[in-house]
Amino acid sequence: MIALTVGARLLAATLALGLVAAGGSAFAQTTGTLKGKVVDGKGAPVDKAGVTIEFKGGVNLKREITTNKKGEFIQVGLQPGPYLVTVNKQDVGVAEDQAQVGIGTAPEMNFTLKPAAKGPSAEDVAFRKLFDEGVAAAGASKHDDAIAKFSEAVKMQADCYACYMNLGGSLYEKKDLEKAEAAFKKASELRPEESRPIQALADLYNATGKREEAAAMATKAAGMSGGSGTAASAQDLYNQGVILWNSGKMAEAKAQFEAAVKADPNYADANYWLGMAHLNAGGTDDALKYFENYLKLAPTGPMAEQAKGVVGSIKKP
């Protein structure tokens, strides 16, 4: 998720493209985590199931791990972007699903292993080819090609959440915002427990000056987890705070900046705007703390001069 700027238009796709920029200081978290649980057809945990985590963002990256006795797995240090996760245990079954890893996020997946079919159908092979080509095109900023591929893919599998998220991201990049909005709404319809489509809509509305709609979506996203029971990332929380701040909802924005700093104390921009939120509320002592944090984390950052000025004013006898 690309970090938003306060009072400025966001001009970047925020989701599912695999090329994610980190906001804040150079010390902010830059990777994500993926975890999950694997059970058999009777709901019993599957021990020592093989888990293959394959990056689908245009670079050949693959991680292979196994589940523990509780059927659980976790992989840290993942590059943000789209992944295909395949789980397999001999004599038990196989399963696969798609996941979107963001900076500081930990999507949780659930798999039920079923006996493997004889092999993928011709339609499944064609769909996989379209999807992979779409991801590669989006990663190369060939968004017209990506839009075409994902549009064809959803005709083959209308319940493909990752397809709609990718499609929305490329449409956003092409400034086809009406269709991007429709794609993100469809993704949310397919997985209503996921906060990421809601945050995407908040970002889109914020970028187009629809402050009330943006604030409503940001508030909704703030009340949700990152999806499947996981906590929202520091960057998502920060983005929600920015949108609420831009909409004049200072108290709600302050709560989101506080949550972002709690999730990642080294998130420089979140520290700065939490300082601004405290200053706006008249809490100069707390404001001073967070402005000083910002200067430690980003001494040459884009808001360093403003932070120095505020610190000087607060400390002035």
CATH of the domain at 49: 2.60.40.1120
- Whether the pLDDT of residue 22 is over 70: the answer is no
pLDDT at 21: 29
Q: In this structure, are 76 and 219 located in the same domain?
A: no
Mean pLDDT of 231-247: 79
Residue 134 and residue 242 in one domain = yes
Digit-coded pLDDT (tens) for 105-164? 667 889 999 887 666 788 888 998 999 899 888 888 899 999 999 999 999 999 998 899
Inside any domain, residue 283: yes
**26: in domain:** no
**pLDDT at residue 76, as a whole number:** 85
Q: 279-288, pLDDT tens digit by residue?
A: 888 888 999 9
> Who has greater pLDDT, 205 or 222?
205
Domain boundary among 112, 135, 162: 112
Phi, psi of 270 (to 5 degrees): -65, -40
Same-domain status, 137 and 105 = no
Residue at 21 is within a domain: no
Residue 275 sits in a domain of what CATH number?
1.25.40.10
Contacts of residues 310-316 at CB distance under 8 Å and 24 or more positions apart, as own/partner, are 310/275, 310/279, 314/284, 314/287, 314/288, 315/288
Q: Are residues 180 and 201 in the same domain?
A: yes
At 227, the pLDDT band (50, 70, 90 cuts) reads very low
Q: For all residues of the chain together, what is the average pLDDT?
A: 82
The DSSP result for 156-180, as a single string, is H-TT-HHHHHHHHHHHHHTT-HHHH
From its phi and psi, is residue 210 left (phi > 0), alpha (psi between -120 and 50) or beta?
Answer: beta
Model confidence pLDDT, tens digit, residues 61-73: 889 999 999 999 9
Nearest CA to 314 among 285, 271, 281, 272? 285
Cβ–Cβ contacts within 10 Å for residue 272, how many?
Answer: 28
- The count of domains in the chain is 2
Q: How many CB atoms are located within 10 Å of the residue 316 CB?
A: 6
Return the minimum-mean-pLDDT range out of 84-88, 191-195, 303-307: 191-195
Note down the domain range covering 287. Answer: 122-315
Is 130 found in the same domain as 265? yes
Same domain flag for 100 and 199 = no
- Exposure of 290 in the CB half-sphere (CA atoms within 13 A): 25
pLDDT at 58 exceeding the cut of 90: no
199 pLDDT tier (thresholds 50, 70, 90) = confident
Enter the pTM of the model: 0.60
